[in-house]
Structure 1
Amino acid sequence: MWLAQRIGCNRLIIESDSLTAIEAVNQREAFGPDVVVITECNHMRLEFASMSCDHCFRESNEVDDALAKHSFSSRCSEVWEESIPDFISPFIVKDLSII
């Protein structure tokens, strides 16, 4: 959401294979350790003209899954504005071949 806001998007579609996370954001309430993240998402939601959060299955979300795994294993945040990282290229090619 932060990146979309940073590059000037005003309409946003968020997809995740975590049904629990999607339900929490859509219901705009959370309890337990996720309350801070959900609350922040709901505050940022107001910055967009429109925003939807949709569930999708992991098989249709392989690029995001690879990015999340990379972020977890490298323990850092990165932004690629000019090129596609090599580790997700095969997943992007696979997605494009399905379309």
Structure 2
Amino acid sequence: MAEALALRFGLNLAQSYGCSRLVINSDNIDVIQAMQEGGLFAGPAAAIIDDCYHMSRDLVIAQFEHCHREANSVAHEVARLARFSPPSTWFNEAPSALLPLMVKDSLLVSSE
């Protein structure tokens, strides 16, 4: 459920900034497969996955890729930061703690 909600939030955010070409990476294989298979999902997050699928159809390009958890350290650090700090949104600059993780993740994803 949390991964599906995060996907919907990300798609909403991308659309609100006018992004129309996206490559979405997630370490949740169930969500990625559901999106690759037309939004078909039978779990408790079925309605959210369906919303995400229809939102992705409005994009010029929406490519969904699975990445291993080791290549997704930025997402885990953002979740950790969100747990211990007040709600905020970063649009122009990411927190400095994320920059080394972004480099590491991009190297791991490109080597897969």
Give the TM-score category using the shorter length: 0.7 to 0.9
In structure 2, the residue matched to 1:10 is: 20
- Structure 1 spans left out of the alignment, 5+ residues: none
Residue 90 of structure 1 deviates from its aligned partner by 3.5
- Structure 2 spans left out of the alignment, 5+ residues: 1-10
TM-score (norm 1): 0.79
Distance 1:77 1:44 in 2: 25
Q: In the comparison of the two structures, how many residue pairs are matched?
A: 98
Q: 1:19 is aligned with what amino acid?
A: I
Distance 2:57 2:106 in 1: 32
Query: How large is the RMSD of aligned CA atoms in angstroms?
Result: 2.6
Q: Equivalent of 2:76, from 65, 69, 92?
A: 65
Alignment of 1:2-41 (within 5 A): 2-27=12-37, 28-41=39-52
Query: Deviating runs (4+, > 3 A) in structure 1?
Result: 68-71, 74-78, 93-99
In structure 2, the residue matched to 1:52 is: 63
**Conserved 8 A contact 2:23-2:65:** yes
Change (3 A) 1:96 1:54: closer
